[in-house]
């Protein structure tokens, strides 16, 4: 069972090694203009929002991480309980293992823990060139009762993986067919190298309902794969891509400027509520994080819930300090400026 082993390797390497991208997310270039007279009370700040028609208590997404192993099943349980308790969204890790090994489906099935959340299924777009069908995508969504399907794009990771699948040609016709036939929205997501405006245009034209920019600054999958490699010469190549990609802040701004109404998710190197508030301030509708949740979720649901509550409360205070009562007022706020 090579795929489950790879999932276990990814979890272990992420937890035990420094796989932080050597590139920044771009958010430190911005700062909020503090308002000493916000004219509101902190209690009046309400972060409630909706994404793809599903209500959220805060615009926060537990980004796709894992599945396909028994250890991952426990992590996903704790993440789902966190999402349900805090009223936030959750993504499941790639379900490719579930296609190859149907007996692993339970490691992804979290609805019994989180009946009300916005839940994203997940599969790699490149799999269309290796036998993935529309019917299989439909089953992946149905089997976990997801609200939407994340179609992730990871050419850098696949190029470096010893077992990588690198035929990314002619994917757009498959994406168009999927978006036209699937009964839930399709979300296009990178995994840490960002989505350029040119790529976003092609994806929107193909019919995707939302984009997750997933820019640089977070986990570097080049470094994760470097730690998996057994050949030193391949490790040298992988290390050279540790800073490859587009900063999260840049991706948010360029795509939002071109598509004012496109549902947009910001992820990539976000570590706290200030980062989250900045992403909303730059124009994102939803903010995704994984690293702040992974270690707590390995410990307990209670620890994971505390981590989520800390992020949400920090976002609330940041909004209060610029006089924003709501996500709408925080979004694209003129109070977020380039540092002088």
39 SS3 class: coil
Q: Tokens for 2?
A: 């090579």
For position 219, what pLDDT does the model report?
A: 82
**DSSP of 252-281:** HHHHHHH-TTS-EEE-SS--SHHHHHHHHH
H/E element holding 200?
Answer: helix 197-206
For position 3, what pLDDT does the model report?
A: 61
Q: pLDDT tens, position by position, for the chain (340 residues)?
A: 456 665 566 656 676 677 777 889 999 999 999 999 999 999 999 999 999 999 999 999 999 998 888 889 999 999 999 999 999 999 999 999 999 899 999 999 999 999 999 999 999 999 999 999 999 999 999 999 999 999 999 999 999 988 889 999 999 999 999 999 999 999 999 999 999 999 999 999 999 999 999 999 988 877 888 888 778 888 899 889 999 999 999 999 999 999 999 999 999 999 999 999 999 999 999 999 999 999 999 999 999 999 999 999 999 999 999 999 999 999 999 999 999 7
Domains of the chain (ranges, CATH numbers): 2-338 (3.20.20.70)
pTM metric for this prediction: 0.94
Nearest to 289 by CA among 280, 305, 276: 276
For position 1, what pLDDT does the model report?
A: 44
Contact 123, 93 (CB under 8 A): no
Contact 24, 269 (CB under 8 A): yes
211 SS3 class: strand
Q: Tokens for 217?
A: 């600054």
Residues in the chain: 340
Q: What is the spatial distance between Cα 76 and Cα 82, in angstroms, rounded to a whole number?
A: 10
Q: What is the spatial distance between Cα 186 and Cα 64, in angstroms, rounded to a whole number?
A: 15
161 SS3 class: coil
| Residue entry with tokens 């701004």 | 253
């Amino acid at each position: 069972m090579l795929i489950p082993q790879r999932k276990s390797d990814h979890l272990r390497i992420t937890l035990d090694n420094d796989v932080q991208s050597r590139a920044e997310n771009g958010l430190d270039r911005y700062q909020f203009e503090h308002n000493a007279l916000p004219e509101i009370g902190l209690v009046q700040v309400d972060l409630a929002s909706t994404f793809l028609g599903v209500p959220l208590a805060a615009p926060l997404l537990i980004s796709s991480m894992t599945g396909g192993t028994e250890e991952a099943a426990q992590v996903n349980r704790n993440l789902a309980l966190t999402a349900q308790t805090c009223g936030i969204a959750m993504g499941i890790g790639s379900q490719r293992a579930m296609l190859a090994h149907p007996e692993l489906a339970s490691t992804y099935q979290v609805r019994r823990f989180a009946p009300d959340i916005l839940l994203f299924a997940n599969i790699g777009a490149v799999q269309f060139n290796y036998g993935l069908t529309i019917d299989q995508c439909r089953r992946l969504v149905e089997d976990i009762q997801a609200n939407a399907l994340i179609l992730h794009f990871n050419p850098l990771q696949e190029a470096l993986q010893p077992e990588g699948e690198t035929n990314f040609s002619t994917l757009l016709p498959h994406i168009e067919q999927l978006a036209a036939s699937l009964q839930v929205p399709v979300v296009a997501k990178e995994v840490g190298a960002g989505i350029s405006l040119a790529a976003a245009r092609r994806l929107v034209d193909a019919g995707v309902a939302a984009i997750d920019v997933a820019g640089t600054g977070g986990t570097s999958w080049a470094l994760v794969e470097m730690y998996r490699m057994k050949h030193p010469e391949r490790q040298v190549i992988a290390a050279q891509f540790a800073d490859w990609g587009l900063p999260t802040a840049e991706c948010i701004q360029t795509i939002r400027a071109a598509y004012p109404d496109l549902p947009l998710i910001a992820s990539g190197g976000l570590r706290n509520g200030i980062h989250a508030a900045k992403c909303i301030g730059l124009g994102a509708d939803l903010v995704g994080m994984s690293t702040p949740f992974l270690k707590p979720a390995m410990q307990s649901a209670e620890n994971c819930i505390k981590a989520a509550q800390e992020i949400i409360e920090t976002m609330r205070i940041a909004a209060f300090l610029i006089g924003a009562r709501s996500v709408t007022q925080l979004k694209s706020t003129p109070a977020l400026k380039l540092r002088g």
